[in-house]
Amino acid sequence: MNRLVAPILLFVLGAVAVQQVVFGGYVDYVRPGHGPLLATAGGLLTAVGLWGVVAGLRAAPEESAGAARLARARVHTRGPLAADRETLDRLRAEEQAEGHDHARVPGVGWLLVLPVFLVLLVPPPALGAFAASRAGAEVPRPAAVATEALAGPDPVPVALHDYAERAAWDDGRTLAGHTVVLTGFVTPREAGGWYLSRMVISCCAADARSYLVEVAGAPTERVPAKNSWQQVTGTYAPGDGTHTARITALEVRPVAAPQDPYEVP
């Protein structure tokens, strides 16, 4: 059984990866475009794990019999080096049950499978307000700020990170005079009020960056629930002299969480 721990773990890991792709949960961890790669990797892990389990089950009786024969060969039954009666009786019993695997896996070894089952049964949610608040409200410096005019008639749907970069690093030149629509989750401000937030990933959740847009002049004084998804229609509002982003809200309404919780550059 010792040789079965690794292949069983591989099989479960692969099955979880495939399950996440089939049911769409993988977008909480990686970009949507990585789904086929994740499914392929999961399928390979599942196949390798299954092959390892079958090979291990076939080899176990032979290994057990071989070990028993080796043990018996090293035991003297006569003379001054003869083993005691208890040892001889035990070896005879093992000989009668030859082919039975007496190997045991330490219980702690199977705990390696527990985290995998936890991901399968209780999947962690996508990164939210806690992660966003830790990075602060300053917008990360972009490699290049978009300078082209917004496309389409007002109100224009804009990716939250795009709006934040235009507002914080281009003084809102391409935003002024437009009404925009942003979608994100709520991150409360320590000083009062709230941010509309979004996480941006290049590859996976491990490299996520947070973008926060302060919502000013919200039609209601009540701060929406933390991590709730909201759609804000509003106009550009100047920042406070730092590289932060603000929006003057004309309308705020709750929306369902998008299928892809992260934005991509």
pLDDT digits (tens, 9 = 90+) for 162-176: 999 999 999 999 999
| CATH fold label, 129-254 | OB fold (Dihydrolipoamide Acetyltransferase, E2P) (2.40.50)
pLDDT at 99: 47
Eight-state DSSP code of residue 263: B
**Residue intervals in the chain for CATH 2.40.50:** 129-254
Q: What is the pLDDT of residues 48-103, one digit of tens each?
A: 988 988 887 877 665 555 455 545 545 545 555 555 666 656 666 665 555 444 44
Q: What angle do CA 42, 108, 45 make, to 5 degrees?
A: 10
5-23 helix and 114-121 helix, angle to the nearest 10 degrees: 20
Give the residues of the chain that fall short of pLDDT 50.
Answer: 1, 66, 70, 73, 76, 99-103
Collapsing DSSP to helix, strand or coil, 188 comes out as strand
Residue type, 2: N
Query: What is the rounded distance in angstroms from the CA atom of residue 126 to the CA atom of residue 142?
Result: 23
Two structure tokens written together for 228: 């709730």
Report the percent of the chain where pLDDT is more than 90. Answer: 39
With vertex at residue 105, the alpha carbon angle to CA 114 and CA 110, rounded to the nearest 5 degrees, is 0
| pLDDT confidence of residue 97 | 55
